[in-house]
């Protein structure tokens, strides 16, 4: 893993000056560094809940497979080769997460949590049997919320338990940063809460931001958010969101194993890939 590389990519990204596109510079410039915009896959319907396995640079995500109603399917895309595979065996695959220590892949469907076998491209039911999984996240243990109640649970040694720190709190998106601070969203806003406590700090009210659709961490454990109008850094010093780059109709967000931004809009998967040789 390349966590300890110098701050070359977006490892310690700070919201800064974002230059507008030029004819010969179609990408984006963030804090004086130029990133090319690379379309990884297009013609998808709402690719969502992005997660990258850093050992393979495989991107896991879900997308809608019917134009007239919502039915999602999980898929895999190798960011380096662009090889694409639908994932078999998951009923209505919607949410994906990766254990970066073991590189196990977990997928949330409408009837529970599945574990994915990369070698044979098959997923088998693993836990939370019968639960309609809304979001899923791995750090030390597997966290998940269900629809429609959206309460947070943990799955450990095959046993599901209501997560006590957020026992009475609904959770839409959920991550834990490098300092063991939990960040989560619900219909009222974006919150930060030290793991092991019940003391939540409001970072932004729902009325203050435009449709938050994803939370993730980069390779250094810094938290970022994907909103409909852009990608934002979650700033603990100011307890606020600061825009990193504008995008249109953002849906999902992750970082690849070089800490480049990977995001989705309503139809495509896109990467901002660093280019040190171009001055824009």
Query: pLDDT tens, 207-219?
Result: 888 789 999 999 9
Q: Which pLDDT value is given to residue 11?
A: 37
The confidence band for 6, taking pLDDT boundaries of 50, 70 and 90, is: very low
Up-side HSE of residue 229: CA atoms within 13 Å toward CB?
7
Q: What average pLDDT does this structure show over 124-140?
A: 97
Residue 152 three-state SS: strand
Q: What average pLDDT does this structure show over 3-12?
A: 35
The confidence band for 23, taking pLDDT boundaries of 50, 70 and 90, is: low
- Domain 18-274 fold: Neuraminidase (2.120.10)
Q: Which pLDDT value is given to residue 279?
A: 76
Instruction: Determine the Cα angle at 135 with ends 130 and 139, to 5°.
Output: 105
Residue 18 reports pLDDT greater than 60: no
Q: What average pLDDT does this structure show over 238-242?
A: 95
Residue 1 reports pLDDT greater than 80: no
What does the domain layout of the chain look like in residue ranges? 18-274
Percentage of residues of the chain with pLDDT beyond 90: 80
Q: Decide: residue 91, CB within 10 A, 0-12 exposed, 13-18 middle, 19+ buried.
A: middle
173-204 pLDDT, tens per residue?
999 999 999 999 999 999 999 999 999 999 99
Distances (CA, A) of 190 to 31, 156, 200: 25, 26, 10
φ, ψ for residue 239, nearest 5 deg: 50, 55
Instruction: Determine the Cα angle at 269 with ends 62 and 121, to 5°.
Output: 45
pTM reported for the whole predicted model: 0.90
Q: Residue 225: which residues within 8 A CB-CB, separation 6 or more?
A: 190, 212, 214, 215, 216, 231, 232, 234, 241, 253
94-108 pLDDT, tens per residue?
999 999 999 999 999
Taking the CA atoms of the chain, what radius of gyration do you get in angstroms?
18
If you average pLDDT over every residue of the chain, what do you get?
Answer: 90
Residue 22 reports pLDDT greater than 80: no
Query: In the block, which residue shows the tokens 């989560």?
Result: 184
């Amino acid at each position: 893993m390349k966590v300890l590389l110098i701050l070359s990519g977006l490892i310690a990204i700070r919201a800064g000056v974002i230059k507008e596109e030029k004819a010969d510079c179609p990408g984006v410039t963030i804090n004086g560094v130029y990133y090319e915009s690379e379309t990884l896959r297009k013609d998808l319907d709402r690719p969502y809940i992005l997660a990258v396995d850093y050992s393979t640079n495989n991107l896991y995500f879900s997308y809608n497979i019917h134009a007239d109603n919502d039915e999602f399917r999980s898929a895999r895309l190798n960011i380096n080769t662009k090889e694409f595979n639908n994932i078999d065996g998951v009923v209505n695959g919607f949410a994906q997460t990766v254990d970066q220590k073991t590189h196990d892949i977990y997928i949330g469907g409408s009837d529970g949590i599945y574990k994915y076998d990369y070698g044979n491209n098959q997923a088998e039911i693993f836990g939370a049997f019968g639960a309609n999984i809304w979001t899923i996240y791995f750090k030390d243990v597997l966290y998940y919320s269900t629809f429609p109640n959206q309460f947070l649970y943990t799955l450990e040694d095959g046993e599901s338990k209501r997560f006590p720190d957020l026992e009475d709190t609904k959770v839409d998106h959920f991550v834990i940063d490098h300092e063991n601070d939990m960040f989560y969203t619900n219909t009222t806003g974006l919150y930060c809460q030290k793991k092991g406590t019940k003391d939540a700090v409001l970072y932004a009210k729902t009325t203050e931001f435009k449709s938050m659709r994803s939370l993730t961490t980069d390779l250094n454990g810094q938290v970022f958010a994907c909103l409909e109008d852009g990608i934002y850094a979650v700033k603990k010093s100011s307890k606020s969101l600061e825009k990193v780059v504008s995008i249109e109709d953002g849906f999902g967000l992750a970082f690849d194993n070089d800490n480049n931004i990977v995001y989705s809009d309503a139809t495509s998967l896109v990467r901002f890939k660093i280019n040190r040789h171009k001055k824009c």
